[in-house]
Amino acid sequence: MSSSATEQLTIPVCQPVSFVQPKPWLRWAAVVIAAAGWYVSFRAFGVSAQMGGLDPLLTRFCGGPDESGLDNCGAVLTSPQAYLALGPKAGSLRIPTATFGMAYFAALLVWYLFIGPPTYERRKWFLVPALVLIGGIIYSVSAIQVMAQVLNRWCPICIAAHTLNGGLVLLSLIAWPWRRPRREVLPHPTARLALAVILAGVLLLLVHLLVVFVQVVGSITRERVAEYTRIVDDPEFVRWDFQRQAAADIPLYADEVFAGNPDAAHTVVVFGDFQCTVCKQSHEMLMEVARKYGGQIRIAFRYYPQDTACNPNPRFRTGGHFSACRAVAAAEAARAVGGVEAYLNMRALLWERQNLLPKVPLSQQSPAQLELFESWAAELNLDRAALKQAMESPVIADRVRSDIELANKLGISAVPVVFLDGKRILGWSKLETWVALLGELPAPTSQPESAPSR
């Protein structure tokens, strides 16, 4: 066949329809504006939640404080209109409205980041962010109206957030596909993508609300704890609480060792644990009280080791006070071997070297840790073997058991606990408490020659 007779057959080829992101510049502009809106809303939330000061850049625009000590931003963002109350009663939990601003901008950020402007065929999906934007612009208008007509204060941070919101509305109007494309393009977004982004927006709202709820509740809890602490540490409250109590029966041992005047009319009894850091603080405070009021009071120590080796309370299985029972035994063994002076010296060492007491179970302690109390006994010129043997004495075990049973009878489950004349004292850690309770006691007939040191 000749070349002239050959017919060139043209086979039509189906060109694939390509995806073209509509108005990509607009998409990224909206992402930037939404991110800026989230940040500004976050800073506004920080003011409403009283999380700290503003960024220096933002502070410049808020003006100086007025007679109430608030600048324009603080006056608006801490006003009643800046919160959503979760109940009708006064004092109900309130969530800053800036929380919803953060969630609002975050949801729009996700939409524009993963979807952006839709194609003409899928423009119905764009009704979702459009409805969100309509709600946002309505809120912006009402918030501006409140600043102008109710508060008579202008918050630059708030104005910035509302301006950014207006920018998103404008970009979204431009992003709407008003005309069909001149050539065929892949429809965008797919239903799966749109639904995934909508779900992500809802989750972002819930996450923002959860985080803010935890933060607000935590802040309220800290305020309540601080208020409670202020009340119970107030010397007048302590005096009132002390006077209203009935005295508990706390018997004393015949061989009781006191700090202060052994013949004083007023008795302090403290339940403690040699491995408890707060108990060490109570010991130091009581020694200071003894130096100040040593002629008027006598201080007795009761054992409540938080260690299941001698205390059956199951709460102490994992408390780390695995040497508390042996420390008590060492103190009492020192008294059995060397008398009261040896007991006081060992007790002083136990408080002074508290951080050296092993914090692991006996089975995991090194040989040096197992012989720790014997080595301290040698420093006090006590016989090591005699102290070790005395630590196993059933008499000492009975004494510790008696103290623990007394503590349980008094309702003690944690230490330190301090009693004055059988009445439990709150705020024992402040000298002002003792001044309030002891300052008006009758002066003693005699003063001790030297202040106690142990």
User: What is the CB-side half-sphere exposure of residue 450 using CA atoms within 13 A?
Assistant: 3
Give the pLDDT mean for 204-227.
Answer: 88
More confident residue, 197 or 293: 197
Residues 280-298 have a mean pLDDT of 90
Q: C-alpha angle 119/124/126, rounded to 5°?
A: 75
Report the alpha-carbon distance of residue 378 to residue 373 in Å, rounded.
Answer: 9
Shared domain for 228 and 259, answered yes or no, is no
pLDDT confidence of residue 58: 63
Helices 98-114 & 24-48 angle (0-180, nearest 10):
160
- What total of structural domains would you count in the chain? 2
Whether residue 305 has a cis bond before it, omega within 30° of 0: no
Q: Are 272 and 416 in contact (CB under 8 A)?
A: yes
Q: Are residues 107 and 221 in the same domain?
A: yes
What integer pLDDT is reported at residue 318 of this predicted model? Answer: 80
Q: What is the mean pLDDT of residues 150-165?
A: 93
Which residues does 281 contact at the CB level (< 8 Å), separation at least 6? 416, 429
- Which of 161-170, 317-326, 368-377 has the weakest average pLDDT? 317-326
pLDDT recorded at residue 449: 38
Residues 398, 296 share a domain: yes
Of the two residues 388 and 449, the one the predictor is more confident about is 388
Residue type, 386: A
Q: What is the pLDDT of residues 371-388, one digit of tens each?
A: 999 999 999 999 999 999
- Which range is least confidently modeled, 8-12, 108-112, 362-366, 376-380? 8-12
Q: Which residue has the higher pLDDT, 328 or 317?
A: 328
Residues 200 and 347 occupy one common structural domain = no
CATH classification of the domain holding 35: 1.20.1440.130
In this model, does residue 450 exceed pLDDT 50?
no
Q: Is the pLDDT of residue 391 over 90?
A: yes
Structural domain contains residue 224:
yes
Domain that residue 132 falls in: 24-232
In this predicted structure, what is the pLDDT of residue 120? 87
Distance between CA 204 and CA 111 in Å, rounded? Answer: 12
What percent of the chain stands above pLDDT 70?
88
pLDDT of 223 > 90? The answer is no
SS3 label, residue 316: helix
388 phi/psi in degrees, rounded to 5: -60, -40
- Looking at the structure, tell me whether residues 256 and 405 fall in a common domain: yes
Residue 420, both tokens = 């004055």
List C-alpha distances in Å: 187 to 62, 81, 370.
46, 44, 77
How far, in Å, CA of 65 to CA of 74, rounded? Answer: 9
In the predicted model, what is the mean pLDDT of residues 245-270?
A: 93
Indicate whether 319 pLDDT > 50: yes
Q: Is residue 245 part of a domain?
A: no
Do residue 254 and residue 228 come from a single domain?
A: no
The confidence score (pLDDT) of residue 235 equals 86
Report the distance separating Cα 46 and Cα 404, nearest Å. Answer: 49
The Cα 8–Cα 10 span in angstroms is: 6
- DSSP, residue by residue, 340-402: HHHHHHHHHHHHHTGGGS--S-GGG--HHHHTHHHHHHHHTT--HHHHHHHHT-HHHHHHHHH
Q: Are residues 106 and 221 both part of a single domain?
A: yes
pLDDT tens for residues 94-144? 889 999 999 999 999 999 999 988 888 889 999 999 999 999 999 999 999
Write down the pTM of the prediction.
Answer: 0.62
Averaged pLDDT for residues 236-256: 92
Q: Rounded mean pLDDT of 67-94?
A: 82
- Specify the pLDDT at position 62: 79
pLDDT band at 170 (very low <50, low <70, confident <90, very high): very high
| Boundary of a domain, candidates 169, 204, 232 | 232
Final residue belonging to a domain, choices 199, 232, 265? 232
- What value does the mean pLDDT take over residues 164-187? 86
Give the lowest-confidence range in 17-26, 190-199, 253-262: 17-26
User: Do 186 and 273 belong together in one domain?
Assistant: no
Percent above pLDDT 90 for the chain: 59
Statement to judge: residues 217 and 280 lie in one domain: no
Between 200 and 55, whose confidence is greater?
A: 200
Instruction: Note the pLDDT of residue 448.
Output: 37
Least-confidence region, from 94-108, 269-283, 284-298: 284-298
My answer on whether 213 and 256 are in the same domain is no
**284 and 137 in a common domain:** no
- The answer to whether residue 348 scores a pLDDT higher than 80 is yes
Average pLDDT of the chain is 87
